[in-house]
Structure 1
Amino acid sequence: MPVKLESDRKSEIIQELIGFYYSEFDENLSDFRAEAIVDFLHRKLGPSHYNQGIADARKYIAEKIDDLDAQFYLPES
């Protein structure tokens, strides 16, 4: 399943990248080049970040399921 980046969010990231590039390197970055960089990073980093998020969510849920007995167990008498 490909990781999709919504167009509004992509535009926002492009503008942030342009601002970052100017403030850090004192050079202008065109929209075209900024978009190419965002697309490249999205292809290269997107899947690993997505997978890490899934792994973190899985771990969190597993910990909560393990806590069910401690939280809600009622002794039978």
Structure 2
Amino acid sequence: MSDIEFTSEEKEILVHKIQSYFHKELSEDIGQFDAEFLLDFFSKEIGSYHYNRGLQDARTLIEENAQNITQTFYEMEKPTEFIKS
């Protein structure tokens, strides 16, 4: 897996969310540099767990849909008669 790269817009939104969390939940003001540092830390140290969980969820969804598609094919089959000789 490559490193998680956010666009500047995404990073700005995420940094703002971190700052808001610290202010609302911890009654602490955190600067942009510290918020970016935390974002980078969590992305590097925890991001792979979220990424892997997303892959697992996607794999499960695909497997379930493949089973549904297979079932649909069986339901679409037309009856056939075998001629005995």
> Unpaired runs of 5+ in structure 2?
81-85
Shift of 1:76: 3.8
Distance in 1, Cα, partners of 2:59 & 2:30: 39
| Larger RCO of the pair (alpha carbons < 8 Å, separation 6+) | 1
Q: Which amino acid aligns with 1:62?
A: E
Over aligned residues, Cα RMSD in angstroms? Answer: 1.4
- TM-score, normalised to structure 2, is 0.79
Distance in 2, Cα, partners of 1:25 & 1:55: 33
> Unpaired runs of 5+ in structure 1?
none
- TM-score, normalised to structure 1, is 0.86
User: 1:64 corresponds to which residue?
Assistant: 65
Distance in 1, Cα, partners of 2:72 & 2:42: 43
Q: Which structure: larger Rg? A: 2
Percent identity between matched residues is 29
SS at match of 1:48: helix
Larger helix proportion of the pair? 1
User: 2:48 corresponds to which residue?
Assistant: 47
> How many residues are paired up?
77
SS at match of 2:46: helix
Shift of 1:75: 4.0
